[in-house]
Chains A and B, each alone.
Chain A
Amino acid sequence: MLDLCSISHKGGIVLWSRSFTPDASQIASSSASPVNSLIREALIEGRTAEEKFEKDGYAVKWTFVNDLELIFVVAYQRILQLTYVDDLLAALKTLFIKLFEPFLATFVASLHAMNSGKVVTAPAGNNTASWNFAKAFEGWDKVFDKLLKGLEDKAAQERKSRFRPTVHAPLADPSPPSDDLSTIPSESSVVAQDEQQIARNVQALKNRLRGRGGRRGGRGIARIDSGSGRDSMPSSDTESVKRKTNTKTQRKWGHEAPTESDMASLDFSFDKGDSGTDAPLSQDALSLVDKASLGTRTRDGMYEVKDWEFGSGDGETNDVISRALQPNGGVAKQASSSLGALSSLFARLTGSKVLTEQDLKPVLEGMKQHLMKKNVAMEIADKVCEGVGESLVGKKVGGFQTTNAAVRLALSSSLTRILTPKTSTDLLLSIRTKLSSALTSSQQRVPYSITFVGVNGVGKSTNLSKVCFWLMQNGLRVLIAACDTFRSGAVEQLRVHVRNLSKIAAESATDNGTRVELYERGYGKDAAGIAKQAISYAQENNFDVVLIDTAGRMQDNEPLMRALAKLVGVNNPDKIIFVGEALVGNEAVDQLTKFDRALRDFSSASAGKSRGIDGMLVTKWDTVDDKVGAALSMTYVTGQPIIFVGCGETYTDLRQLRVANVVRAILSE
């Protein structure tokens, strides 16, 4: 049921891998492997705190061992609901480390060679100075097979045992009463009630019938009853026998519903508590049950039989597995903290202190509060700190480095990773590339189009004019499309900006020809149509860049989001820039997720390829001096880079983001 299982080092080298289907084995060795996608998209981006990762129909679960820098990954089909994957990962972790710790330690040490270190040597016992990885892990395949089989069987048993109680409840259990009170079925009393009722009704009917039949004579009954076969005869017998009570007792043939008294005598469910028979009965019961072979009780109170012990030939592996699966055994015991702080100080100085969750929890809590004070959204601060904690648990800190310093270092590298862009943010390069890759001269080249989206009042039009100024400084011809047809004064605002920019361009530049123009069609029209016309106008008149200004809209206003997605779908702009302000706090997460999702969902119908947000522009940066956490929240949510930062209200107040400065500002006190 699993597709792929692998154990690899954080530096990339795979130590062991197993795929269970031919498709999986083919994908596993290519770069589209689910493990590669996991590393590239979740682990490097710092989303290690999430439960699982899904891609291409695979669900992937993972766990780390931080002091040996290993990653354990299990991938299976997303539609399956496998319950034992977490247990499998935990057991794999403990078993692998237990079995191969010395080899792994030398291997990891060889990958962290210092400058003056020795040449990579093979582990002790190997003369030929060559590393034989296949031989080092040779017993592992068998152990893994056994472990997987054990877990799958247990899961199958659990599924079967869930069905068992509903089947057995109506049947009366004729076995001798056990000592456990929990095996008392709770449903029999309800059934008995109905049956008592039924018995009483039947008795009443019979009396009435007998009374009637008695008037007409026994023959009538006999004739009626003879139709039902042989069984009818005894009824007349019972009539006659009832009068002679001493000679014969009634014979019950079982074709009629039991009476109340019958049920009371036949009811063996309850412990009658006869004192006379108690002592020998309990002794017998004790001898019947072998305490050593008693199974375990699950959390729901169900009693599970003990697992079958395998034969003596495989005893060793099974010992290891069973010891590892027990909650107490197999886990590396940490140094006992009987001396408390003093022993931990000594451990740190000798370089062997291992970070535990308890050590990390207060420090991470403090870090989270610090991040929130810097205006990072609460969920993002939570997730980032959780991710940092996961990557530090089990790691060794040495020397005079305190836990605080280790956490701070890990947090700083995590923040840098989140903020560093993964695609190029060089807008001019992309513009020039697109313009220079023109088709034949008969066809005019398509201009580069940028759309600015965002909620109301963040500064889209102001920053659009700043970007326009910058593009004009670089010698490009810009057309501004006024697709905000809703807000009064939007078109006039852009007209003023265009007038100012033309004046600036006329004073400074020596080129002739207009550098910037406004394309507007008034108010109340459809924005997508205006944008389309603007782009074709720009194409005819040799403009280089089209900047599309849209109306501000709230992220949960569905008809407006649909309209925006239609604009994006119809015109397919080269860049969709989300404009957000630096003052936003927890709202940033909501805005960005909903905008991104709405664009992806609603725009895929027409264009065939779903577009999301491609980049972000953070405005009003000058109003927050070092509480710059909004930048972190926004990049964490979308994964896209921050292209520009607006830090003022004049045309030159446009900056690029410097990751090191932002990280320093966030972590400073």
Chain B
Amino acid sequence: MTIEDTTHTPGRIEPEVASLTNLVSTPILVLASLSLAAILLAVVLIRRQRSRSAGNSLLLVGPPDSGKTAILSTLAYQRTLPSYTSLQTNAAVITLPGSSAKALRVVDIPGHPRIRGQFREYLSDARALAFVVDASTVSRNGAVVAEHLHHILHALTSLPPSQSPPKLLILAHKADLLKSNTSSSVSTELAVSRVKVILERELEKRRLSQVGNVGIEGLGEEGEKSDTGGLVCNGPAAGSFKFEEWEGGEVCFAGTWLAAGRPESGVDEKEGLDGLDGLREWLTQVAR
């Protein structure tokens, strides 16, 4: 045994490695990891909430044959395509004109009474809602249009308070089909005023028929919400229904028109020749 271990010192010396776990005691470690998890969760929730409260869609609703699909095709494809009655919803993403150039999703929901209830599924994501009315025939079927609008207003007023309600615009479309005596150009103000007057009158009739009504309960569990309501006004009690005084929010009006797309025209429609400027202005205002 001549070889002497130089390392062999009397009394074994273990190599000392300063471990982290010894520096910090376990309770502090647990606390640190918990707080990190809480911070992460908070960040995720805040981000999700921010995206939820600010929806990013424009909903096009309205009675059948009012021109919703034509508006969507003009906004998305820059040309007015001819269309039949829609069977299902269309959703397209467009960029708004102007400096902001934000992307907006436009959803066109069919207006047929049997399938128009689908708008409730898209309401949670809606930033703006445009109710499209055919201004040339509204004097004839005002009651049907008012019924549809009533459903929309009722849905808007019964949104949960955590969600910011979408802005409402009532679009008096097909303004070029109205014959105006004064000027030869298309008058959108006439369309807007006519639609406003007729809708206020019909909605007032609906409100009166529901005030003090003993309705029939719906079949089903007790406590289910009824379909009526939503037409409460803030104004003087004796006054009739007015859009300015509606408690659900602000209602804007605009008049628009589009050149009708003919199915067999081989000629390309010139771009830019549409009357959707009212809609576009309002959209840029809302998107700000």
Contacts and interface: CB of A to CB of B under 8 A. Distances in A.
Interface of A: 6, 8, 10-14, 16-19, 25, 28-29, 31, 33, 35-36, 39-40, 43-45, 69, 71, 110-115, 117-120, 130-134, 416-418, 420-424, 426, 428-429, 432-433, 436, 470, 473-474, 621, 644-645, 647, 654-658, 661-662
A553 to B, nearest CB: 28
Contacts of B92: 110-111, 113, 120
Given A111-B92, A422-B112, A658-B220, A39 B85 contact: yes
B264 A25 contact: yes
B91 A111 contact: yes
Given A119-B103, A120-B92, A12 B83 contact: yes
Contacts of B56: 115
A45 B85 CA distance: 13
Given A13-B83, A422-B114, A31 B65 contact: yes
B73 interface: yes
A36 B113 contact: no
B173 interface: no
B218 A655 contact: yes
B264 A13 contact: no
A473 B212 CA distance: 10
Interface in B67-126: 69, 73, 76-79, 81-95, 103, 105, 108, 110, 112-115, 117, 125
A418 B114 CA distance: 8
Given A13-B90, A44-B112, A134-B268, 20 more contacts: A10-B86, A10-B88, A11-B108, A12-B69, A14-B83, A14-B84, A39-B84, A110-B92, A114-B91, A117-B105, A133-B79, A420-B113, A422-B113, A423-B113, A426-B209, A644-B216, A655-B219, A656-B216, A656-B217, A658-B220
A116 to B, nearest CB: 9
A-B CB proximity, top 7 nearest: A12-B86, A17-B263, A11-B90, A12-B69, A12-B83, A113-B93, A655-B219
A579 to B, nearest CB: 16
A120 B77 contact: yes
Interface in B104-152: 105, 108, 110, 112-115, 117, 125, 143-144, 147
Nearest to A18: B264
B208 interface: yes
A658 B224 contact: yes
Contact of B219 (A13, A131, A133, A647): A647
A429 B85 contact: no
Contact of B78 (A69, A131, A421, A423): A131
30 contacts: A11-B87, A12-B69, A12-B87, A12-B110, A13-B69, A18-B264, A29-B262, A40-B64, A40-B112, A112-B90, A113-B92, A114-B91, A117-B93, A117-B105, A119-B95, A120-B93, A120-B94, A130-B77, A134-B268, A417-B114, A417-B115, A420-B113, A422-B113, A429-B205, A432-B208, A433-B143, A433-B209, A658-B224, A661-B219, A661-B220
Contact of B88 (A8, A69, A621): A69
B93 A44 contact: no
A503 B58 CA distance: 55
Nearest to B107: A113
A426 B208 CA distance: 13
A6 B81 CA distance: 14
A666 to B, nearest CB: 14
A662 B219 CA distance: 9
B264 A11 contact: no
B124 to A, nearest CB: 11
B271 interface: yes
Contacts of A112: 90-91
B213 interface: yes
Nearest to A659: B117
Contacts of B82: 13-14, 17, 29
B188 interface: no
B242 interface: no
B223 interface: no
Contacts of B88: 10-11, 69
B38 interface: no
Contact of A432 (B73, B81, B85, B205): B205
Contact of A424 (B85, B110, B147): B147
Contacts of B115: 44, 417, 420
B260 interface: yes
Contact of B205 (A44, A113, A130, A433): A433
A623 B216 CA distance: 20
A534 to B, nearest CB: 25
B11 interface: no
Nearest to A431: B209
Interface string B252-288: 0000000010111010100100000000000000000
